[in-house]
Homo-oligomer: A and B are copies of this chain.
Amino acid sequence: MDQIDKKILRLLQEDGNMTTKEIAKRIHLSNTPVYERIKKMERERIIKKYVAILDREKLDRDLIVFCNVTLKEHSKIVGHQFVNDITALEEVVECYNISGDYDFLLKVMVKDMKAYQDFVLNRLGEVENIGSAHSTFVMGEIKQSYQIPIDR
């Protein structure tokens, strides 16, 4: 992966529907090499997929909560079970295994506080082996980038 590939990636992170023609124009190259480079990076899974980014609030998901969770027990089996259960919850848009006082950090996206209460009680409450849960509420979204920073 060279500087040209990186330029292409920067453009595609900005606009995933940019035509090869337009990319070619911007990086002063012709159609085919740009096409080949993109296809190569798709094959190598450097480019994993293309997605549409939607407006959260227009879709009635106004509340984001970061939910810090501890497990009661830390065996491999229960950890695996937890991972499976959590992954299945569509409100949980991200989940990380973290250092510090808690075991996992969940990013939860719901309509409002009532929906979050319902999530904690009925969805998270159904997941086995959860010890404690500490919620941090998002009051404002300052920055949201979907881009991986690419070195020069």
The residues of A with any CB-CB pair to B shorter than 8 Å are: 9, 12-17, 44-56, 58-61, 64, 66, 83, 86-87, 90-100, 104-105, 109, 111, 136-151
Find chain B residues with CB under 8 A from A58 CB. 44-46
Q: Roughly how many angstroms separate A138 CA and B100 CA in the complex, as a whole number? A: 10
Do residues A48 and B44 form an inter-chain contact, with CB atoms below 8 A?
no
Q: Roughly how many angstroms separate A53 CA and B66 CA in the complex, as a whole number? A: 23
Do residues A51 and B53 form an inter-chain contact, with CB atoms below 8 A?
yes
Having A9-B54, A48-B55, A99-B136, one finds 6 other A-B pairs with CB under 8 Å, namely A45-B55, A50-B51, A51-B53, A54-B147, A54-B148, A61-B149
Find chain B residues with CB under 8 A from A55 CB. 45-48, 148
Copies of this protein in the assembly total 2
- Most chain B beta carbons < 10 A, residue from A64, A145, A148: A148
8 closest A-B pairs by CB: A97-B140, A12-B52, A95-B142, A16-B50, A95-B143, A99-B137, A16-B52, A17-B50
Do residues A150 and B59 form an inter-chain contact, with CB atoms below 8 A?
yes
Q: Roughly how many angstroms separate A18 CA and B147 CA in the complex, as a whole number? A: 21
Q: Taking the nearest CB of chain B, how far is it from the CB of A30, in angstroms?
A: 21
- Most chain B beta carbons < 10 A, residue from A50, A104, A139: A50
Find chain B residues with CB under 8 A from A66 CB. 96, 98, 105
Do residues B13 and A142 form an inter-chain contact, with CB atoms below 8 A?
no
Do residues B94 and A144 form an inter-chain contact, with CB atoms below 8 A?
yes
Do residues A15 and B109 form an inter-chain contact, with CB atoms below 8 A?
no
